[in-house]
């Protein structure tokens, strides 16, 4: 099992904080977002990690080499990060994860490591973390399930009334599912040039083909996606008290 962190984007909504620093190297409570994610992975026994960088990638490489020298980290570069979305960054990881399975993470989430543990211990080969406690609106990636907890719809367009919660951007996939997923990604990226979509579009096609992906309720744990300065403040107020003390050096203090 490999950890995959997608960290290529510019994060324009956090400017000027991200003018000279990648979003995941912003610090909250004395620890970078990326540092917290890597610590969460290692706490769950995952020490083989792929990071897809792009914007200011040299800073990511320097940070990891300086703070996680014993961790097995491979960097991939999304050279067209300014004109692509996370579906393209995920596609780049195919040679490194196809035979291994993966825990997939967006790089802008501050969360308890128990969320990863919940996925691994769920009994599902393929599943994703769903916050059932959040208020749903137009911007959330919403998840609808059947009576067996299998996901049948995942997108921003799912009606809030028909959704059980929000996908928080942490997923687990077994090698058998990754073959189907990357078949979809190959077609969408190589043939359709659909490089500017969210990767959930590919998840939905896998489901429509009969692939079984399950929802794991993590609403009892703390997590927040960082998109704005307001999210940083909310994380410091509402999430940090539930997280362990920082282990690595901060980059920017908020």
Distant-in-sequence, close-in-space partners of 45: CB < 8 Å, separation ≥ 6: none
Which residue in 93, 27, 96, 24 sits closest to 56, CA to CA? 24
For the chain, residues with pLDDT lower than 70 are 246-254
- Per-residue pLDDT reduced to its tens digit, 21-38: 999 999 888 899 999 999
In a domain, 29, yes or no: yes
In a domain, 254, yes or no: no
Kindly list the distances between the CA atom of residue 33 and the CA atoms of 38, 118, 144, in Å, as whole numbers in the listed order.
9, 20, 29
In a domain, 181, yes or no: yes
In this structure, what token pair is assigned to residue 63? 């940070």
Which domain range does residue 68 map to?
Answer: 2-246
- Per-residue pLDDT reduced to its tens digit, 132-171: 998 888 888 999 999 999 999 999 999 999 999 999 999 9
Whole-angstrom Cα distance, residue 182 to residue 26? 31
DSSP string, the chain: -EEEEE-----GGGTTTTSSS-GGGEEETTEEHHHHHHHHHHHTT--EEEEEE-TTHHHHHHHHHHH-TTSEEEEEE-TTGGG--HHHHHHHTHHHHTTT-EEEEETTEEE-THHHHHHHTSS-SSEEEEESSSPP-SSS-EEEE-TTSBEEEEETTS-GGG-SEEEEEEEEE-HHHHHHHHHHHHIIIIIS---SS-THHHHHHHHHTT---EEEE-TTS-EEE--SHHHHHHIIIIIGGGSPPP-S--SEE-
In this structure, what token pair is assigned to residue 58? 């040299």
Work out the percent of the chain whose per-residue pLDDT is above 70: 96
Whole-angstrom Cα distance, residue 184 to residue 186? 5
pLDDT for residue 248: 52
In a domain, 199, yes or no: yes
pLDDT for residue 37: 95
In a domain, 180, yes or no: yes
In a domain, 52, yes or no: yes
* CATH number of the domain within which 61 lies: 3.90.550.10
In a domain, 252, yes or no: no
pLDDT for residue 145: 96
Number of folded domains that form the chain: 1
Whole-angstrom Cα distance, residue 178 to residue 199? 13
pLDDT for residue 247: 58
In a domain, 251, yes or no: no
The two beta strands, 127-131 and 165-173, are: antiparallel
CB contact at 8 A, 174 and 124: no
């Amino acid at each position: 099992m490999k950890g995959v962190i997608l960290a290529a984007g510019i994060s324009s909504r956090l400017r000027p904080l991200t003018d000279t620093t990648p979003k995941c190297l912003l610090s909250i409570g004395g620890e970078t977002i990326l540092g917290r994610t890597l610590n969460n992975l290692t706490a769950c026994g995952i020490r083989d990690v792929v990071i897809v960088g792009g914007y200011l990638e040299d800073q990511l490489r320097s940070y990891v080499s300086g703070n996680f020298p014993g961790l097995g980290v491979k960097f991939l570069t999304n050279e067209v990060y300014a004109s692509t979305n996370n579906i393209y960054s995920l596609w780049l990881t195919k040679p490194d994860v196809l035979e291994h399975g993966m825990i997939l993470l967006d790089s802008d989430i501050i969360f308890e490591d128990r969320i990863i543990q919940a996925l691994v211990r769920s009994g599902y080969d393929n599943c994703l973390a769903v916050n059932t406690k959040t208020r749903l609106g137009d911007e959330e990636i919403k998840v609808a399930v059947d009576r067996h907890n299998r996901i049948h719809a995942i997108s921003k367009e799912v009606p809030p009334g028909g959704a059980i919660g929000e996908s928080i951007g942490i997923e687990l996939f077994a090698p058998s599912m990754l073959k189907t997923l990357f078949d979809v990604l190959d077609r969408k990226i190589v043939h359709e040039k659909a490089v500017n979509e969210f990767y959930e579009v590919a998840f939905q096609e896998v489901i429509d083909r009969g692939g079984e992906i399950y929802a794991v309720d993590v609403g009892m744990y703390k997590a927040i996606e960082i998109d704005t300065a307001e999210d940083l403040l909310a994380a410091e107020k509402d999430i940090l008290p539930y997280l362990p003390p920082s282990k690595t050096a901060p980059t920017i203090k908020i």
